[in-house]
Amino acid sequence: MIAAPSLYFDFLERLAQHSEIALDTEADSLHCYYEKLCLIQIAWPGELLLLDPLADLPLAEFFSVLQGKKLIFHDADYDLRLLRRSGSFPDENIFDTMIAARLCGERHLGLAALVEKYCSVQLSKASRKDNWGQRPLSSTMSTYALNDVRYLHTLAAIFEEKLLELDRIEWFYQSRDRMVRATREVRVKDEDMLWRISGYAKLSPRSWAVLRALWQWRDRESRKVDRPAFYLLSNSDMLRIAECAPRSQDVIPQRLSQEQRIQFEEALSHALALPEEECPKPLVRTAIHTSRQEMEVFRKLKDKRDHLADQLGLNPSVIASKFALEMVAKNSATQPLLPWQCALLEIDPIPKL
């Protein structure tokens, strides 16, 4: 584990000598409210390393050394979002083995499945839910983490060759670039949707008011103690309480502290006393009319997509999702397809303004 400054700067010197680096990350989202980067796994031919972001090392210098190198990830979306919180992470030359595998027609895209198929090695999943913020890491956790990058160079070489043989390398670049662009966008949360957890729709508007109040209470309390929300109260418990609260006050969880209990009771009482007109309203979904002509265009596109997918050995959704085909059929001003997808389906792409 690279945690000391002396080891860190020696590591950077060695890193600078290599042009292709495999990377992965681990976070503590299952153990803390404020998710943080806990571990960076790094590999180049002949060496596997663990870098400790919790050791207050200047990661900007690490990111600077990575500039211009080919960076290999498996399913890079989450890793890029996480790394970007620590500085300006270079994302201009990413090779994502999951995207490559999908475009090569692989049906099972998980790292373990691909490693087993192409490297004849079964990876353990034993440490997947461990607390990566703990120190020191156990030997089992270290091995698990290193295995996430141990085979990435091999997989990248295999799939890059396949993409070239299949003449799909441009498909990869376009798909990769779209993924990278998406990770640069800041996701804005809709506060009126956060509390609408799975199963809420079966409840009454009064129970919705309770559920919303409980979600907000749970979020505040989880922030205070820096623990995941489900540690305090599970979604299933919140649904049960929201359903029962309008009929019974005996719904307060026993495991709460005295202060949490007081705040819980206040939130519950406020929700139960809320005027009817201030209770949450059902979501209003705008009906989208589809003409007979649009349905016919969609059907022809879908048939063409399915035929192409069968010919190319791809999952049909790789060529185009159902939603994308619907947008094309409606001649939407928003083009959901990449140029290579448009070319396959013989659709004129919407020019960029």
Across the chain, where does the E strand assignment appear? 20-27, 37-44, 47-51, 70-73, 94-96
Amino acid letter, residue 308: L
The helix (run of H) or strand (run of E) holding residue 277 is none
Residue appearing with tokens 């495999």: 22
Q: What is residue 125's DSSP assignment?
A: -
Closest residue by Cα to residue 319 from 335, 296, 343, 299: 343
Fold adopted by 5-184: Nucleotidyltransferase; domain 5 (3.30.420)
Q: How far apart are CA 94 and CA 88, in angstroms?
A: 15
The percent helix, strand, coil of the chain (3-state, each to 5) is 55, 10, 40
CA dist 203 and 205 (Å) reads 7
Helices (DSSP H) in 195-345: which residue ranges?
205-225, 229-232, 235-244, 258-273, 292-312, 316-319, 322-329, 339-345
Topology given in CATH for the domain delimited by 191-278: DNA polymerase; domain 1 (1.10.150)
How far apart, in whole angstroms, are the C-alpha atoms of residue 176 and residue 178? 5
- Residue 350 has a pLDDT of 61
For position 331, what pLDDT does the model report?
84
CA atoms within 13 A on the CB side of 73: 24
Give the per-residue pLDDT at 135.
Answer: 95
Residue 98 and residue 114: Cα distance in Å, rounded? 9
314, 289 in Cβ contact below 8 A? no
- DSSP 8-state secondary structure symbol assigned to residue 286: P
Strand 20-27 to 37-44 pairing: antiparallel
Mean pLDDT split into 10-residue runs, the chain, 353 residues: 96 97 96 95 97 96 98 98 96 98 98 98 90 95 97 98 98 98 91 95 96 97 94 94 88 89 94 96 82 94 97 97 93 85 88 47
For 349, residues 6+ apart whose C-beta sits below 8 A from its C-beta are: 335, 337, 339, 342
pLDDT at 79: 98
CB–CB of 26/41 below 8 Å? Answer: yes
Its pTM stands at 0.92
Tokens of 268: 């519950």
